[in-house]
Structure 1
Amino acid sequence: MARELTPGAGIILAAPEGEILFEKNATRQFIPASTIKVFTALTALKYLGENFHFTTDFLLDKHLNLKIRGQGDPLLTSREIRTVSTHIKKILQKNHISHIQQIMVDGSAFKKGIVIPGTGGSKNPYDAPVGALSANFNTISFKTTGPKSGGDAPPAAGSATPWISAEKETPLVPFAREIIAGAGMKSGRIPLAHGTQALYAGHLFTWFLEKEGIKTEKTITMAEVNAGDRLMFAWRSPYDLRQVVAKLLYYSNNFMANQLFLTLALKQEGAPATLEKGIKVAMAHAASLGIKDLFIEEGSGLSRQNRISPRSMLRILQAFKPHHGLMRYEKNEYYKTGTLQGVRTRCGYFQNRQGELYPFVIMVNQENKGYEKIKKKLQKIVREWKIKG
């Protein structure tokens, strides 16, 4: 069988009890692409725990400035911001406060200026920057209204800007419009620029607070929390870590993966979170699994410098088996795919009629080569495999 398959592919398939049913180039290191997200998810589940919830702190200083301190929540969206704003209103009213001064945003839990290896500074959402305080995946989704115009050109400079939000629950605040104007696009989802993540979140909070009847000075600045600031409350995300991981794996969201990677750094190694601290946590976890050939630069699979062997990836899958239901499922297969230029990878579990799981890894690091033929061969092995008594 091995001669029939892509010569440079890395492949491994195991029985439910762990017996190796097939392997090829199983100890060679390959670029894992997005399949490394399974390891990031597993590491988060180990160190943070299934019941972990992200939190965001809201404080008032002595001048009645509202301070918002982020701690990496990847799912702080307009829906949550609306809910939080309603809660802030109730707290302020209870304290007979109807007007606050500035909105001050604190993203210092993550080191300033983190650039994820493999991102290219494009207008594609997968290049969205990370940030301790982030909103809507650090992207802006918009479209154009009004009379249709030919071509794909954006409105001319100085003309009216008929952009509206492409998300029902997200307002297109002036801060966002300025960013859109510089993008040169009629519609789409664009990433925020580095350094604007927390500010954008602050502008959204200002908009929703104003809607709740809380007056502000409409000034958003960067400022760290001080010892004398009074904690109003800590927002607890409604999503536990299993739900976060399920969304991460289903959508293969690079932003979410690296938010988790940096949160691991924050919780295990202390603030400010850095990629180096995240790597330290990841490598310690890999060592505990008996993995010695992992090289990792970030947690999403964007970096082409990430390396791991199929055999080591199998160890990860064996450890992830209790969480296999968090992966995509289709036609008796739980799986995660990975794609970069010249890279196609897939890992997961084939499920037989008895519900038993056969972990597998396919890594193809060759231009114009896929893995469908390999997958079919492995599935045939699973169908024909007989448990030896």
Structure 2
Amino acid sequence: MADDHMIVLKNTWWPWSLFMSMSVLLCCFCKPGFSEVNPPFSFQKKIEQYAGDGAVGVWDEQGTALFSLNTTKGMVPASILKIVTAAVFIHYAGSDYRFETHFYRDSKGNLFIKGMGDPSLVSEEWVKIAAALKSKGLFEVNELVLDDSFFAPLLKVPGVGQSTNPYDALNGALTTNFNTLYVTVSPRKEVISAESQTPLTIFMKQRALAVRRTGTFRIAIKQNREHALMLFASLGRAFLKQAGIMISGVDRFETVPASLKPFHVHYSSKDSAAIITDMMEYSNNFSANQLFLTAGVMAADPPATLEKAVQATQKFLHQKIGLTNITVVEGSGISRQNKISARQFHEILRYFRPYKHLLPEKDGVWSKTGTLRQVSTLAGFYIPQQNKAQLRLFVIMLQGKHHDRLKILSLLRKHY
């Protein structure tokens, strides 16, 4: 080989041959993993690239950090805050708590209904309520009297706007169908209920036409207490009528006289664990703030207020988890005023671990997403791809990179 090489060098084309020989030699050192000028693009670097100014953290079950990027930085959590709300509610009420709605009768034949903030009082529950009332001998009602005094009136939840979108629905003690109505409006202004289990009432038709839209859509009762009570009353009347209970008088809104005792107490068909499961799956802001406000009442006294709910949350975070310097102004994550760091959120996940099954699960990942404009979060638990016997706690909080949170999670599962 040396002789051949010498012959080539003597050739008049030696510069080209020399160049080729040197190129081959250089290529041996340019293979991936050998170049010092361009080192391999590690998965850590990829995570940092996807995260930008965001925060990413992974911890094992003992709380040891396996990966940490900006985890002490306070950030907007968006809907992963619902995990905090769920933990707070379970602490004060338990996972088997069932919301109550109280029914009273007076000597004039009036039916009083007092709400306790049940977020699961939907059409299917009305069927059970009407049947139970009839089984107890209720066949005629004079006036329907609604009492929503368990919550303070006109609660203004930070971040909730004035739109008719479901996430802007008004919270209250006496609500039905998440304070929304689901309808179909034809181009000819014909309105039908878009739910087979929900009858169309005159009030629902009026609200649907007021929106000036066509198609099938869900409308929220926004910041109007009277409209919320009118929706409740109209559906209550419809379901009682279906059960054969007639109401002759008008609807009134006032508190139940102290002298009356409950004629019937309706317990929600769903316990708090089931309500939380639905809340997580559908990211229901209305339900989250119903739980948030109710937790405040359980830690204090009625009526429910935002101030009591915030105080109950801060007390739980400090006394049960040892966390301070967290800003929580409501329970759904819709407000940008909420602030928490990834490291702090990891401590909440450690508390919530026995209840991870309440989170949506897919392929060994139990998680909750959060999305606002320029905010993208993801938090929960996963089983690593390389070690099926372990469980990891993770928090991803990004600024406006909705698709990158899943890319980051995929990398974390492969390497941690």
- Tell me whether the two structures share a fold, i.e. TM-score over 0.5: yes
| AA aligned opposite 1:54 | F
**What SS is found at the alignment partner of 1:207?**
helix
Q: Secondary structure at the match of 1:231?
A: coil
Range with greater deviation from structure 2 (368-377 or 241-250): 368-377
Question: Partner amino acid for 2:57?
Answer: I
Name the residue aligned to 2:193.
165
The amino acid across from 1:291 in the alignment is: L
TM-score, normalization by structure 2: 0.85
Q: Deviations over 1:167-214 (max 9, x none)?
A: 011011111111112111223100013212233112111111122222
Larger Rg: 2
- For residues 345-384 of structure 1, the aligned pairs below 5 Å read 345-352=377-384, 353-366=387-400, 370-382=404-416
Matches within 5 A, 1:336-351: 336-351=368-383
Aligned to 1:255: 286
Q: Secondary structure at the match of 2:247?
A: coil
Separation (CA, whole Å) in 1 of partners of 2:203 and 2:63: 54
Distance in 2, matches of 1:166 and 1:221, equals: 28
* Count of residue pairs the alignment pairs up: 365
Q: Is the 8 A contact 2:297 2:303 kept in 1?
A: yes
Task: Encode CA deviations 1:86-121: one digit per residue, 9 max, x unaligned.
Answer: 11112125xxxx321110111110110012111121
1:222 aligns with 2:222: no
Alignment CA distance shift 1:63-1:355 (3 Å):
farther
Deviation at 1:62, TM superposition (A): 2.3
**Structure 1 residues 183-194: aligned runs within 5 Å:** 183-186=211-214, 187-193=216-222, 194=224
2:59 equivalent to 1:14: yes
Between the two structures, name the one with larger relative contact order (CA 8 Å, sep ≥ 6).
1
Q: Deviations over 1:330-379 (max 9, x none)?
A: 12211100000000000011113534310000001246773233222211
Provide the C-alpha distance between the structure 2 equivalents of 1:62 and 1:141, rounded to a whole number of angstroms.
37
Amino acid at match of 1:44: F
1:152 maps to: none
Structure 2: give runs of 5+ residues left out of the alignment: 1-43
Alignment partners' CA distance in 2, 1:371 and 1:214: 53
Q: 1:369 to 1:85 in 2, by over 3 A?
A: closer
What TM-score, normalized to structure 1?
0.90
Which of 268, 276, 290 is the matching residue for 1:245?
Answer: 276
Return 307-316 or 189-198, whichever deviates more: 189-198
C-alpha contact (below 8 Å) 2:327/2:339 kept by paired residues: yes
Partner of 1:129: 170
- Please tell me the root mean square deviation across aligned C-alpha atoms, in Å: 1.6
Whole-angstrom CA distance in 1 between matches of 2:401 and 2:270: 39
The Cα of 1:17 is off from its aligned counterpart by: 2.2
> Which residue is 1:56 aligned to?
101
Give structure 1 stretches of 5+ with no counterpart.
150-154, 156-160, 383-389
Identity fraction in percent: 32
Equivalence for 2:14:
none
Q: Which among 181, 198, 208 is matched to residue 209 of structure 2?
A: 181
Letter in 1 for 2:146: V
Name the CA distance, whole Å, in 2 between partners of 1:135 and 1:175. Answer: 14
1:231 is matched with: 262
Residue 371 of structure 1 aligns to a residue whose secondary structure is helix
**3-state SS of the aligned residue for 1:234?**
strand
